[in-house]
Structure 1
Amino acid sequence: MSHKRIPKRKAAIAAGSVAALGAAALLLPNANASQSNGDDATPRTFKATDVSDVAAQLASQLGDAFAGSYYDAGNKQLVINVVGNNSNVVNRIEQAGAVAHQVQNSTSDLRAAAKTLKTDATIPGTAWSVDPKTNEIRVTADSTVTGTKWDTLTSTVKDLGSGVATVKKSAGTFKTFVDGGDAIFGGGARCSLGFNVTASDGSPAFLTAGHCGVAAKQWSDAQDGAPIATVDQATFPGDGDFALVKYDDPATQANSAVNVGDGQSVQINQAADAAVGQQVFRMGSTTGLNDGNVTGLDATVNYPEGTVTGLIQTDVCAEPGDSGGSLFTQDGSAIGLTSGGSGDCTVGGETFFQPVTTALQAVGATLGAGDAGAGGAADPSAGAGDQAGGADDQAGGAADDQGAADDQGAADDQGAADDQGNADDQGGAAYGQSGSGMDDGSGMVTTP
């Protein structure tokens, strides 16, 4: 297997470089811009990336009546959950072009339930997030949750009351996904470059998973190669799973694009909050390009290394070799960084992502290359011609409206396991997949 070095002054994001099959056909120009038919009471059609701002505004206006929101992709509509039948509330929602949906559980109800889960059921191998489509907390237990652990979890859910939470089993095991995307190497670990950014001091850098950042301080673009970047900040476990890694060469041009394989790339123009029901794409060197939908926000995941909160839950498949890689949308919005999950791309499963907006805000970085000129390497043939403009709108204040509660993913102080460095996940057998940017490969924390 040969390894291609990144040109010294050019580091193009390529979150995976195997041939893009299946989902690649979906990366075509999307003209579903928000529009109204002139009747304020008639639902508008929205782009998924537009609904967060509208939902945030309605959340602030509706107060306790607001109980979350989600995107109805089939009808391209924004659905707002409301408690009670106040006609003024319904009118305000309809005037904004959204659809009002009456539900049982208020935001405060779901927050209280999430706190109970944190207190009574923080069990390794469990996860929970709010599903605004069902107005419940979705609790998932992996294959390691058995016996008294399973009994504790199910009894806790039952005690929350009818219609508040549901619990299901996952066939796999929740684990962090070290490796994947355009591979980077550090301390024996393989991870993935997520999105290139500009650090607060103006230096070129990139985001990746936090469990990669705590596993090694220096990272290379080739196995056993010379370091090209050094970790500046890393969070894992706890309040997220993200790391800021600065390029050692200050002249590096941190271009902003995602390589989707087969010679194509998608320009990344902005960071955006996820919306439940939104279609998203994930690229990784193990499984190539895959798509799916956001199923929950503010997810809490109890990994073996500790508890991580504030994640995005999806049904996009992932396998060993995808950690830190890019989650993005058709119109070129950066959404998340691959954290972990269960299952694989044969049987499916749950996959969790660190929100990019939250990571950018926490590390003080901006998306793209700043003065270096973001995105020069992107191939417009990738089919993202109508990518939304307005780069760097990374303030992540709207994600909570979608999932009906900021702290549903349980409190930040839940997990602080000492083994956060993931020393045992470093193994990384290279798979010789070719591509632009950094050479790809896989090797994982654990096998599924």
Structure 2
Amino acid sequence: MSHKRIPKRKAAIAAGSVVALGAAAILLPHANASQDGTSADGAPRTMKATDASDLASRLQGLLGQAFAGSYYDAAAQQLVVNVISGDNNNVVVQAKKAGAKVREVGNSLAALKAGAQTLKAKATIPGTAWAVDPKTDQLAVTADSTVTGADWDRLTSTVKSLGDGMATVKRSSGTFKTLVSGGDAIFAQVQGGTVRCSLGFNVTASDGSPAFLTAGHCGVAAKQWSDSETGQPIATVDQATFPGNDFSLVKYDDPNTQAASEVNTGEGQAVQIARPADATVGEQVFRMGSTTGLHDGTVTGLDATVNFQSETDPNGVDTVTGLIQTDVCAEAGDSGGSLFTQDGSAVGMTSGGSGDCTNGGETFFQPVTTALQATGATLGDGGAGAGAGDQNGSADPSASAGDQAGGGDAVGGGGTADPSGTAGDGTDDQSGAGQSGAGAGHRSGAGHGSSSLTRTH
């Protein structure tokens, strides 16, 4: 039987993201390739962020309890590894010989994790978040604008109880919320209207069928999904987890569906997604979303806990743990979109955050590696792996900008967008939060070309 290819105008669901917005500048070039072997003189060696992540994992096993976290120094292109003061000098020497920059710190990972457990027990308040910050060797605690009065006092007193030098608290001007309908738009019909989310990455399910990953709160909200607001369902939720984690595995209904493993960055360009990768604090990452397009930033924390106001219980909290914290901006309409690196590593899917792309803020992402491990899926093409355009994955040069695969139907924070759409003309927020805004417009993308990236500011 011949494989079914996704029609060109239906390719919104075939790629990880949609067209970037605004004027673009050329992205910084790749970091220098990592050197092979160890550093004979113990001097830190330069490496890419992905190589730094691999080295950090190896050193964590080597150092054991002495390991107190690590981060990537992007300016120096070096891995910085924290070790507990006074620990065995032999393991420190080994870490240096492996090429890492070693610094002694006072707080162990065990102590920081214990502090996080205290925060969980005593300060699980809607609008709060915390994560280990290896750069400061402390817990970075954030409170959004809704945390006031007795809640603020409770949070700050809990942080103080942890002891000096264990945690810092900062304010966020926005409100922590799940961010809906980013990336390539997917739709579901539920009682009360249409919900929107976005596709994160195409994968192959454990039974070999084509599927994709998206946010867990999307899979909990609806079972069947379409690639157009009024179209018939083309994919069905197989697994969904929220709260706790925030990921869903959604299988294409047609087992012959071919979906490219790539992120469409607009301007005729796409990034091929070849592998999953764990995030590293300090590395540069990119996020795609239909509201704000392509934006970049830095990973600022790992294993983050976020306490969202419950969308079903006015007095409840939806707590999600194990998230990646970044300073990449996002807005309503960017949820579920792809977080990735320039070299084609899939890192995460947008869960939620606060702030906007005018004033900045914090955004949290579900790690792709966690979702893959939990679902048994593997990253890559569904089906035979045809890319956008023609069967070998290259762009169809004769196709018009609106027809080229992977362009996607981009939707805004509050409105499903078509060429004649107006602000606020669209479906409700998936989360039920009632946010609304201008539709992003029907952003038909150009054909996929090289793997270089652009970014907007």
Shorter-chain-normalised TM-score: which range?
A: 0.7 to 0.9
Tell me the distance in 1 between the aligned counterparts of 2:358 and 2:60. 39
Q: 1:8 to 1:348 in 2, by over 3 A?
A: closer
Aligned length: 392
More displaced stretch, 356-365 vs 217-226: 217-226
Instruction: Give the 3-state SS of the residue equivalent to 2:249 in structure 1.
Output: strand
Tell me the distance in 2 between the aligned counterparts of 1:84 and 1:354. 33
Match of 1:42 in 2: 43
1:346 CA displacement: 0.3
Q: Is the 8 A contact 1:190 1:426 kept in 2?
A: no
Give, as a single letter, the amino acid of the residue that structure 2 aligns with 1:348.
Answer: G
Q: Is the 8 A contact 1:215 1:423 kept in 2?
A: no
**Alignment match of 2:118 (pick from 116, 119, 141):** 116
Kindly provide the CA deviation profile for residues 223-255 of structure 1, in whole angstroms up to 9, marking residues without a partner as x: 1211111111111111x1100111111111121
Give, as a single letter, the amino acid of the residue that structure 2 aligns with 1:289.
Answer: L
Match of 2:173 in 1: 171
Correspondence 1:7-26 to 2 at 5 A: 12-19=14-21, 21-22=23-24, 25-26=26-27
Match of 1:407 in 2: none
Q: Is the 8 A contact 1:142 1:342 kept in 2?
A: yes
Match of 2:431 in 1: 422
1:16 CA displacement: 2.1
Q: 1:97 to 1:359 in 2, by over 3 A?
A: same
Q: 1:429 to 1:19 in 2, by over 3 A?
A: closer
Tell me the distance in 2 between the aligned counterparts of 1:89 and 1:375. 47
**Alignment match of 2:266 (pick from 257, 261, 266):** 261
**Alignment match of 1:318 (pick from 322, 327, 330):** 330
Tell me the distance in 1 between the aligned counterparts of 2:61 and 2:279. 18
Tell me the distance in 2 between the aligned counterparts of 1:9 and 1:208. 16
Match of 2:286 in 1: 281
Q: Is the 8 A contact 1:286 1:321 kept in 2?
A: yes
Q: 1:106 to 1:374 in 2, by over 3 A?
A: farther
Match of 1:395 in 2: none
Kindly provide the CA deviation profile for residues 256-283 of structure 1, in whole angstroms up to 9, marking residues without a partner as x: 0101111111111100000000000001
Q: 1:40 to 1:218 in 2, by over 3 A?
A: farther
Match of 1:208 in 2: 214
1:293 CA displacement: 0.2
Match of 1:227 in 2: 233
Question: Which protein has greater RCO, CA pairs closer than 8 Å, 6+ apart?
Answer: 1
Q: Is the 8 A contact 2:84 2:106 kept in 1?
A: yes
Q: TM-score, normalised by structure 2?
A: 0.81
Instruction: Give the 3-state SS of the residue equivalent to 1:45 in structure 2.
Output: coil
Match of 1:92 in 2: 94
Match of 1:125 in 2: 127
Instruction: Give the 3-state SS of the residue equivalent to 1:52 in structure 2.
Output: helix
Match of 2:412 in 1: none
Kindly provide the CA deviation profile for residues 378-420 of structure 1, in whole angstroms up to 9, marking residues without a partner as x: 669xxxxxxxxxxxxxxxxxxxxxxxxxxxxxxxxxxxxxxxx
Which ranges in structure 2 are unaligned for 5 or more consecutive residues?
A: 1-5, 311-317, 396-429, 447-457
Instruction: Give the 3-state SS of the residue equivalent to 1:343 in structure 2.
Output: strand
Q: 1:233 to 1:429 in 2, by over 3 A?
A: farther
1:295 CA displacement: 0.1
Correspondence 1:16-415 to 2 at 5 A: 16-19=18-21, 21-22=23-24, 25-26=26-27, 28-35=29-36, 39-85=40-86, 86-187=88-189, 188-238=194-244, 240-305=245-310, 306-369=318-381, 372-373=384-385, 375=387
Q: TM-score, normalised by structure 1?
A: 0.83
Instruction: Give the 3-state SS of the residue equivalent to 1:369 in structure 2.
Output: coil
Tell me the distance in 2 between the aligned counterparts of 1:27 and 1:6. 31
Kindly provide the CA deviation profile for residues 284-310 of structure 1, in whole angstroms up to 9, marking residues without a partner as x: 111111000000000000001200000
Q: Is the 8 A contact 1:9 1:251 kept in 2?
A: no
Tell me the distance in 2 between the aligned counterparts of 1:71 and 1:124. 31
1:50 CA displacement: 1.4
Sequence identity of aligned pairs in percent?
Answer: 66
